[in-house]
Amino acid sequence: MFDHIYPDTIEALEFGFTSDLFEGILWRQGGYIVIASIKSVLPRQGNLSQLFRNIREKGLGIKVTNPSPIMTMICQKKGFVLTHGPVEPGICDDIVDIYVKKMESKTVE
Ligand SMILES: CC(C)(COP(=O)(O)OP(=O)(O)OC[C@H]1O[C@@H](n2cnc3c(N)ncnc32)[C@H](O)[C@@H]1OP(=O)(O)O)[C@@H](O)C(=O)NCCC(=O)NCCS
């Protein structure tokens, strides 16, 4: 099971994941932040891109699970690699698309 990160909590504030910008939750899976279902409150103002940068600046990778068509397009544009895996192991084992941006190489995986 993944650790859930809700907007405005201490963990969320590390990444700027706040309820004025996003609805939904993030998950923590080892050295990755998993994005499964979020919505931008103010779309197309760069807030998702900033969230990605904030996560990577913490030395973490990003996984986007079962993305919507817009999110798929964004992941492809930003060089995420397409893999496949369960939505949330042990909770929902359906195999879906997962776009992965590895953590910076200086960090041990
Ligand atoms: C997908 C979503 C979260 C993106 O959030 P956002 O805050 O609008 O994203 P940003 O403004 O940071 O844009 C990120 C990049 O995607 C591009 N982009 C965003 N929305 C786009 C759209 N509808 N069409 C084309 N490009 C788009 C931006 O131009 C930007 O490109 P850049 O990095 O080259 O400048 C938002 O569109 C949304 O909430 N969609 C509805 C719910 C959804 O699909 N959630 C994802 C579930 S996995």
CATH code: domain of residue 22: 3.40.630
User: Among 52-56, 69-73, 103-107, which stretch is predicted with the lowest mean pLDDT?
Assistant: 103-107
Is 106 part of a structural domain of the chain?
A: no
Strand pairing of 81-88 and 92-101? antiparallel
Helices (H), the chain: 10-13, 47-57, 69-77
43 in ligand 1 pocket by Cβ < 6 Å?
A: yes
Q: Tell me: pLDDT of 106 over 60.
A: no
Measured in Å, residue 96 CA sits from the centre of ligand 1 at 20
46 in ligand 1 pocket by Cβ < 6 Å?
A: yes
Tell me what pLDDT residue 2 has: 78
* Residue 45 structural domain: 3-101
Into how many domains does the chain fold?
Answer: 1
- The token pair at 19 is 């309820």
Cα separation, 17 vs 47, whole angstroms: 9
